[in-house]
Structure 1
């Protein structure tokens, strides 16, 4: 069955999409948050911990994305793995949660963008920031209202701007680097036997993995990736390794210019626009203004690519009859999912305004609240269920074509599960008064109720018969049979070869 998309995105574009989403506004606004969580510049070890979790989890995405390259990413993986016992429940719940956590990720990007705009516009009021943020989202939706090949070109251009912006911050920081600032760790900075250390580590790990989120963006575009068995794993691994190097250089460089105590002082520029503070102290105000503009473009690019991939998630599910049917509509001329794009853009706007007006009254920074909520919602249905899907599929569909197989299986899956469980288990302790665990459980439970109502209307399990359709395995076999027939036609000696491939 045709997906409705064409495969036009190659390795470079897929890697650029991932990296643009990963290195958006994140590192420019979360360095002070990480220093606060860990209580000093020893937070630099978090970039390594976050990279390790991203790598082992990325291997899960790589195997699934290479073998099941469909529109929607995790939706496809859960649909194929869990339909044997739970029918359409797991893919429905994933789309349900994705409609919240993907826009929340994008809303942090818009919030960070407005935060850095404040450096160029010191007198900006809250209302003006609100209007600007919503206007940026509207512009992104307009830019995405086109064919994917045009989007790919725009994404590569934005990726170049991202490289220039982070490169400028790194270069500037090392022109006036002071090791005494970067490595002045407080006494007893690392105390694994103290409970407070692990609370800080879990809070920091949540922020660190948030900064790496995006290595899976191209997986949501699986139906539009050219040669996905080769491109998908490489795009994931290349983007994680590249961003890890960028983040380490940036973190160490920034800490070598700005006293980490200034990052905790709300009256200091470094607490809200740390990259601008670095440029101002090293190259002057003019350079700081210029690079701040580049950072704004980088943040814009991250929201742009996030909505690009996220809008495909509900489309894939609705097209398969596993989510609300209205999301299955493609634009007649340009072939993109209309309702998915508009819905994701709308929820992103709500999340952005929530962070500014509800989160700002809390004892915690708005970005910290949003990050805690989105990661907690993500863990249950995406991270942990997807890790389980690798094992389930290996047992249920052993003959599924796997162009990439996870190295050292199942060790990366186990390590990824442990990392996500640490993030989830410490979420409430690391964010007292926010209750991210309770909110995540409530949202998933509400999704379960929505599924019961929806499945009753649609007449599917548990109110209808069990349905098992191994689409990707059948598709591979059909392609193999076609190759056998072509070879038999070309070589008479293969006239007696069977249509069904071996195995």
Structure 2
């Protein structure tokens, strides 16, 4: 790996002009970028899948579990994000927690390594879902759907190719679109429900002879899908060096985002099955469009579909924005290809990182299926990012005084223990093939790290001075 540097900023090429990302995003913009990252196309395509897996009205519990997991994990992100508000989020958290000269090098490298694969997969999943919903408006054959998904990725790259100030304003517009779309669907469903809300909730609490083992067999698999819909609550941590008052705004933006989205998701599910019984909803490819069509007619359903597409596009926008800072952070630190550390000379954003991840997302959007992509994303990230980060915070807390952390979780270390246990449960729930694929990516990353370290004479081949 190349390592040409500029004075005072390791890893930044000498021909790159600006060397720091400006802090221009406040609590409102951070919350908005989290929420549009979280929603996207996810709930609109995952809702029928979750009902299929659970096979009964108890599917709502999978959405509740997704929110609980997110809240628990957010305590870890909040402590780390407030204490270390740096570009790249987990890259820096892992490096600092495990030691910047030894194991931290390996773990942070593995995170960047998997980001090069899973970040484009996240964007591709949203683009594939976008194309799937677009076919409600215009019937598309498989190749036409791929063309639509690829085009969506290209438009996202084009929209992100600008200053962070403009990004913040665009994010606010998209946030408004997300809230408006979900509000219309929820209010329409609740006011036109054929099945009362109380009856829906009562059914979710009662065991059903038809799916009596749903708790043991289906909840884990279904929660893999719902947690995918919550992912993104930590997007603000990837943008840590661009957040104003990070000790306050980073934790607050995450908890506000999760609470708001959890309420919206639960209301969305209740309103949908109030209009369309769950037995019918589980077979729908355009569940939101079908609900609006049943309530208001075809024209209204077409408008709703267009709004869903805007929501899906906004998620692609937030996801690619956040992840483009990860290879940049590693390169600026001298631990990745130095070209990724380049900032645009006038617009001050990591354009090489953006173009690379966006380009891979374009390719992935043409190759994969949505259901497989959703599961692969989680299987690939859990061990290093989520479990590794939770253990890392525990190690950090044992080395540093609690007062070193601007935000401190309640009843420490209970959230950490719970997070590790829950993430391990979700990892197993992805299934053997996806577990093996995730571990394979990690194994290849270890090999790549060792080769790189050997060439550069870094740990473990060269012992750093104490």
The separation in 1 between residues aligned to 2:71 and 2:109, in whole angstroms, is 27
The separation in 2 between residues aligned to 1:87 and 1:460, in whole angstroms, is 12
Partner of 1:104: 121
Q: Secondary structure at the match of 1:323?
A: coil
The separation in 2 between residues aligned to 1:105 and 1:43, in whole angstroms, is 24
8 Å contact from structure 1 (residues 175, 282) kept in 2: no
Partner of 1:315: 328
Larger radius of gyration: 1
The separation in 1 between residues aligned to 2:97 and 2:442, in whole angstroms, is 19
Deviations 1:306-336 (CA, angstroms, capped at 9, x unpaired) = 0000000010011101222221111111111
Deviations 1:267-296 (CA, angstroms, capped at 9, x unpaired) = xxxx21100000000011111111111110
Kindly report the root-mean-square deviation, in angstroms, between the aligned alpha carbons of the 2 structures: 1.8
The separation in 2 between residues aligned to 1:323 and 1:133, in whole angstroms, is 30
The separation in 2 between residues aligned to 1:467 and 1:254, in whole angstroms, is 61
Partner of 2:13: none
8 Å contact from structure 2 (residues 54, 211) kept in 1: no
The separation in 2 between residues aligned to 1:349 and 1:171, in whole angstroms, is 35
Which one is further off, 35-44 or 393-402?
A: 393-402
Judged with a 3 Å threshold, the aligned counterparts in structure 2 of structure 1 residues 389 and 400 are, in CA distance, closer, same or farther, namely farther
Q: Structure 1 residue 351 and structure 2 residue 364: aligned?
A: yes
8 Å contact from structure 2 (residues 102, 460) kept in 1: no
Gaps of 5+ in 1: 266-270, 356-365, 430-434, 469-503
The separation in 2 between residues aligned to 1:99 and 1:229, in whole angstroms, is 28
Q: Secondary structure at the match of 1:256?
A: helix
Q: CA deviation at 1:199?
A: 2.9
Q: CA deviation at 1:188?
A: 2.9
8 Å contact from structure 2 (residues 123, 153) kept in 1: no
Q: Secondary structure at the match of 1:179?
A: coil
**1 or 2 for the larger relative contact order (CA 8 Å, sep ≥6)?**
2
1:115-264 map, 5 Å: 115-122=132-139, 124-179=140-195, 182=200, 187-188=208-209, 191=212, 194=213, 197-264=215-282
Partner of 2:453: 455
| 1:390 aligned residue (390, 393, 396) | 393
8 Å contact from structure 2 (residues 96, 104) kept in 1: no
Q: Structure 1 residue 4 and structure 2 residue 11: aligned?
A: no
Give TM-score scaled by structure 1 length: 0.85
| 2:298 aligned residue (276, 282, 285) | 285
Q: CA deviation at 1:171?
A: 1.2
| 2:463 aligned residue (455, 465, 470) | 465
Q: CA deviation at 1:170?
A: 0.5
Q: CA deviation at 1:85?
A: 4.4
Which one is further off, 279-288 or 197-206?
A: 197-206
Q: Structure 1 residue 47 and structure 2 residue 63: aligned?
A: yes
Which one is further off, 457-466 or 88-97?
A: 457-466
The separation in 1 between residues aligned to 2:354 and 2:465, in whole angstroms, is 29
Number of residues of Structure 1 aligned to a counterpart in Structure 2: 444
Q: CA deviation at 1:176?
A: 1.5
Q: CA deviation at 1:258?
A: 1.1
The separation in 1 between residues aligned to 2:356 and 2:464, in whole angstroms, is 30
Q: CA deviation at 1:338?
A: 1.7
The separation in 1 between residues aligned to 2:336 and 2:49, in whole angstroms, is 37
Q: Secondary structure at the match of 2:275?
A: coil
Q: CA deviation at 1:189?
A: 6.1
Judged with a 3 Å threshold, the aligned counterparts in structure 2 of structure 1 residues 87 and 292 are, in CA distance, closer, same or farther, namely closer
Judged with a 3 Å threshold, the aligned counterparts in structure 2 of structure 1 residues 436 and 161 are, in CA distance, closer, same or farther, namely same
Gaps of 5+ in 2: 1-7, 10-18
1:61-80 map, 5 Å: 61-80=77-96
Which one is further off, 179-188 or 253-262?
A: 179-188
The separation in 2 between residues aligned to 1:71 and 1:453, in whole angstroms, is 26
Q: CA deviation at 1:231?
A: 0.2
Q: CA deviation at 1:370?
A: 1.0
Q: Structure 1 residue 28 and structure 2 residue 31: aligned?
A: no
8 Å contact from structure 1 (residues 318, 325) kept in 2: yes
Which one is further off, 305-314 or 346-355?
A: 346-355
Partner of 1:437: 435
Q: CA deviation at 1:368?
A: 2.1
8 Å contact from structure 1 (residues 73, 221) kept in 2: yes
Judged with a 3 Å threshold, the aligned counterparts in structure 2 of structure 1 residues 400 and 330 are, in CA distance, closer, same or farther, namely farther
Q: CA deviation at 1:400?
A: 6.8
